[in-house]
Amino acid sequence: MDSLSVSPIKAINTAIQSYNPFINAGILKDVWGKGFPDVPTLNAHASDAVFQAMELVRTSQSSQEKVTSIAITAAYGVGKTHILSRIRHRLKANGSAFFVYAGVNNYTDLNLVKYQFQQTLADSLSNSGNQGVMQWQEVAAAMANEGFKAINADTPSLSPQVLVERFDKVCAGWSAKNRNLMDRLTKEVLKTKPNADPYIVRAILWTLSETQTSFAIKWLSGDALANSNAEALGLPNPSKTNQDREAEALRTVQQILNLVSYYNPIVICFDEIDVENNCNTDGLTTPQVIADLVKRLHDTLEHSELGRGVVILTVMMPDTWTKKVDLMPGGIPDRVSKYTQRKPIDLKNIGGDSMVELVTLWLKEFYEAKNLTPPNPLYPFEEIELRKYGQNGLTVREALKWCVENFKVDEEILPKDPFERFELALKKESEVDRGNYLEDNSLIADALRFGFQSLKGQILDGETSTGEKLEQVTIEDVAEIEPKHKNQGWINFKVVGKAKDQGFKIGVSVLQYSHGRAVGAGMWRLIEYKTFDITRGCLVRSKTQEKKILNNWDSYWYLKKLVEELGGEHVDLKPEEIRPIIDLYSVYQKCNHYQLNEEQVMHFSHWHTRENPLIIQILSVPSGKIDKETIEGEELINDFLNPSSTEYTHNSDDLSELFN
């Protein structure tokens, strides 16, 4: 490296001392998120097999090869979800397939697994694809363009973005002339898809409407609509029990996959299936229920019209395969791992080369964010040291943990007085650029946990900005949530204590996810007071427009139940209130660097945390009311974002408005 381009070593060391990029690394919960720096060679054999299987189903002319499956096995921490994240990012980047992710820990009733998978399918296709719109909208745009060409073969194709932008205006224009755009468009699409379910075609086309998308997706997921919404969409809306929905779900899923796969292959990923304590009425555990579902999907789809094919992935622990799935009768193991002839693909631990690649990628992102150029890409590590440590058969999580502990440089001279060292440390941490920290659920949860731990044994009083009281509150413990296999980490911890000798156990859940399904996964646990031994649930989530809980999400119902029925609370996460706690937590994590011990940091921190408005809000008695202005307001916003269309002066019935 050119020595003239290297940043001053003092600046580099200061950056290293102020922030450890490996902290909170190695845990990927949301496969739809940004993900982590990826080492393409690490377990490339697994992701390459998926891409090869996808190419097989895409190009094969045999109906028996149009659907295939792969089982992936790996021990805890090796990187199962990272592999799925790699696959999703690759598919999104090149647009080579649609991606469906089924996190099975969200399946709350194993007797309704087909219906819950239908909801997963609808929800996953609501995520953004290669063209910058929902995957649903990519399919709807392709269908609409086929409908246009059925009218006139010379019609130019419109992009999904253009169709979404124009759809509501054209629809309103047709309605003003007493004509029904959706009737005509559905009719034209069905000319090219005569065997398709007309209502499913209609619902998919409705996803092009900015005002009706959420209702169309809700209908596609199998859920009931308000009669007024169903009537507006022209969709049937019979009253059904969950058992009715379960009975119909597999056929609906088949119809949807037939339509969607006509335009692109589909990769379906079943993850987190290793829960053992749940059973359906037939006595099958979660892994067995999912394996049976995979077989049913395989056999149903094998005999249907799959345009470009389906690949089904099932990710599990090695023991789950050998002791559960592989012993199941009826050809189930063969259907779960068809592509590899019943042999699961096992993920491997990290090696010396991969260790070097992993650290290089993490540090590249770190130094670029700091606008620094290090003396070598691995600084402050030594390559020989990394290769040697990488030979220990580590999981990715273990490797990153080692990096956390060893990412440091020579310490500077610090004040002799411990409190002065603490104040200096806090000042330095407050100056650190933490990037988009409000999206980091784990960091926020860990910081809050630390904040409450610093207050153990303290008697607290105070009042929130909205008037809720905090009187003679004592924190006795900050405890883990049990049972862990049911919680799956969604409720981060519980605060145990007393208020005027009245005991409480507050379950705290930080849910900054933008995706409704992830928010719902945490929220339904937060209202299960008996299951998780809590007396009050507390949702910590920003009340900004971007984090609004939409009233058609399941989370909205959970929130109403939490606040209005169960005495829980939705606490607003404000940057000016959480950032000071994060800075204190960062000092705690790096206490050795500042020549402090954990007890000293806890002691000095409580003078800050006891006055923190966010902590006071969580501990105070809830108001029992939902903030309607924050939660609702779609109609008002839509009036501005989707204004009425302009007047249409001509009487053409040829869909030409979409092209003007």
- Residue 198 has a pLDDT of 95
- Residue 447 has a pLDDT of 96
70-115: pLDDT as tens digits: 999 998 878 787 888 889 999 999 999 999 999 888 788 999 999 9
- Residue 659 has a pLDDT of 59
Q: Tokens standing for 34?
A: 């940004």
Higher pLDDT, 83 or 652: 83
Flag the least confident range among 284-288, 498-502, 506-510.
498-502
Cα–Cα distance, 274 to 445 (Å, whole number): 25
Examine the pLDDT at 176 and tell me if it is beyond 60.
yes
- Residue 118 has a pLDDT of 96
* Cis peptide leading into residue 198 (ω within 30°): no
Neighbours of 224 (CB within 10 A): 14
Using left for φ > 0, alpha for ψ between -120 and 50, and beta otherwise, residue 33 falls in beta
Flag the least confident range among 18-22, 49-53, 171-175, 383-387.
18-22
Cα–Cα distance, 183 to 336 (Å, whole number): 41
pLDDT band at 404 (very low <50, low <70, confident <90, very high): confident
Examine the pLDDT at 639 and tell me if it is beyond 80.
no
What value does the mean pLDDT take over residues 15-43? 75
pLDDT band at 650 (very low <50, low <70, confident <90, very high): very low
- Residue 2 has a pLDDT of 46
- Residue 34 has a pLDDT of 67
- Residue 660 has a pLDDT of 53
pLDDT band at 595 (very low <50, low <70, confident <90, very high): confident
Task: Report the run of H or E that residue 269 belongs to, with start and end.
Answer: strand 266-271
What value does the mean pLDDT take over residues 462-472? 77
Flag the least confident range among 24-28, 167-171, 484-488.
24-28
C-alpha torsion angle, residues 521, 522, 528, 529 (rounded to 10): 170
Cα–Cα distance, 202 to 187 (Å, whole number): 9
**Which amino acid is located at 69 in the chain?**
S
User: Strand pairing of 310-316 and 266-271?
Assistant: parallel
Higher pLDDT, 102 or 463: 102
- Residue 29 has a pLDDT of 61
Question: What long-range pairs does 210-213 form, CB within 8 A, spacing at least 24?
Answer: 210/164, 210/167, 210/168, 210/638, 210/641, 210/642, 211/168, 211/638, 211/642, 213/134, 213/136, 213/137
Q: Tokens standing for 332?
A: 């189930």
Examine the pLDDT at 643 and tell me if it is beyond 50.
no
Distances (CA, A) of 15 to 20, 70, 358, 360: 9, 44, 20, 17
314-347: pLDDT as tens digits: 999 999 999 999 999 989 999 999 999 999 999 9
Query: 358 and 39 in contact (C-beta within 8 Å)?
Result: yes
- Residue 644 has a pLDDT of 46
Examine the pLDDT at 11 and tell me if it is beyond 50.
yes
Neighbours of 136 (CB within 10 A): 28
- Residue 547 has a pLDDT of 85
Examine the pLDDT at 632 and tell me if it is beyond 60.
no
**Domains of the chain from N-terminus onward:** 3-25+354-406 (no CATH), 44-97+264-346 (3.40.50), 135-242 (no CATH), 418-638 (no CATH)
* DSSP designation for 473: E
233-274: pLDDT as tens digits: 999 999 999 999 999 999 999 999 999 999 999 999 999 898
- Report the percentage of the chain scoring pLDDT > 90: 55
User: Strand pairing of 469-479 and 493-499?
Assistant: antiparallel
Secondary structure (3-state) at 447: helix
- Beta-bridge partners for 285: 279
Examine the pLDDT at 123 and tell me if it is beyond 90.
yes
**Which amino acid is located at 343 in the chain?**
K
Residues 6+ apart with CB under 8 A from 250: 114, 296, 297, 300
- Residue 647 has a pLDDT of 39
- Residue 3 has a pLDDT of 45
- Residue 28 has a pLDDT of 58
pLDDT band at 120 (very low <50, low <70, confident <90, very high): very high
- Residue 24 has a pLDDT of 64
183-209: pLDDT as tens digits: 999 999 999 888 899 999 999 999 999
Examine the pLDDT at 226 and tell me if it is beyond 70.
yes
What value does the mean pLDDT take over residues 473-488? 91
